[in-house]
Amino acid sequence: MPFLNTFRLSLSVVLLAALAACAGTPPTGPEALAEPRAQTAPRIPDQVSSPAWEADMQRFEAADAKSPPPRRGVLFIGSSSIRLWDTLAQDFPGVPVINRGFGGSELRDSTWYADRIIVPYAPRQLLIYAGDNDLNAGRTPQQLQQDFTAFVQRVRRDLPETKIAYISTKPSPSRVQLLATQREANRLIQAEAKRLGVDYIDIFTPMLDPKGQPDETLFIDDRLHMNAAGYDIWQRVIAPYVK
């Protein structure tokens, strides 16, 4: 009987030691890799606003494979106002500009695709125009501010030295009902940009007419996208920020 009690006690000690060793062993496998990242990685949207943007990503990758753009360039990204800026290189002569505007994208989309349209280029400067489509789709100014913060955090995770500039939303005649919402979103993002050390570029104000309405003369027939006169304003306002 004493022998049996001694055996049970020894077995208990061995089991407790084994359990303690397991508890102190770092986890392995995918969980081990994911855990530290979850603690430090910025918030990234769960999904993009449209799966159609994948075709744009593939188009960019094919173009890069054929003719790699310069590293340490000046990268413009965002929605169609960037995508349709076909005089970008002429408007900033001597600057190694890269245009990666895509579709009718939202700010969250540029965060989602950062690994494919931002990080590979390691730009010295990044200028983004996004937010117009977001507000039109129903996102609030507060949500857009949060999306902006998440975008800046995502870029700085891999490119802490890249200088970032946010181009404010523009006042479009076809979306005149959004003017008050845009003003609030621009105000919130301007304040957040200052806190984060990001340049805020106001193109909203110079695109208004004397009555405080969107200047119709700056847009093509759809009253949403800009003509040459609209891009002339953008070039003039943005140029002092391009480094």
The number of beta carbons lying within 10 Å of the beta carbon of residue 26 is: 6
Q: What angle (nearest 5°) sits at the alpha carbon of residue 57, between those of residues 80 and 100?
A: 45
The verdict on 64 and 6 lying in the same domain is no
Encode pLDDT of 91-144 as tens digits.
999 999 999 999 899 999 999 999 999 999 999 999 999 999 999 999 999 999
The verdict on 58 and 119 lying in the same domain is yes
pTM over 0.75: yes
CATH number at residue 90: 3.40.50.1110
The verdict on 36 and 57 lying in the same domain is no
Range of the domain at 30: 2-40
Encode pLDDT of 152-172 as tens digits.
999 999 999 999 999 999 999
The predicted pLDDT at position 43 comes to: 62
Amino acid at 154: R
The predicted pLDDT at position 41 comes to: 53
How far does Cα 25 stand from its chain's mean position? 38
pLDDT above 70 covers a percentage of the chain that reads: 81
The verdict on 29 and 66 lying in the same domain is no
Query: DSSP of 106-150, one letter per residue?
Result: -HHHHHHTHHHHTGGG--SEEEEE-SHHHHHTT--HHHHHHHHHH
Do 174 and 220 form a contact (C-beta atoms < 8 A)?
no
Say yes or no to pLDDT of 31 above 80: no
The verdict on 33 and 65 lying in the same domain is no
The predicted pLDDT at position 44 comes to: 60
What is the rounded distance in angstroms from the CA atom of residue 14 to the CA atom of residue 18? 6
Question: Is 138 inside a domain boundary?
Answer: yes
The verdict on 159 and 231 lying in the same domain is yes
Question: Is 45 inside a domain boundary?
Answer: no
Question: Is 48 inside a domain boundary?
Answer: no
The predicted pLDDT at position 42 comes to: 55
Say yes or no to pLDDT of 33 above 60: no
Say yes or no to pLDDT of 19 above 80: no
What is the total count of domains within the chain? 2
Binning pLDDT at 50, 70 and 90, where does residue 60 land?
Answer: very high
The verdict on 107 and 180 lying in the same domain is yes
Say yes or no to pLDDT of 22 above 80: no
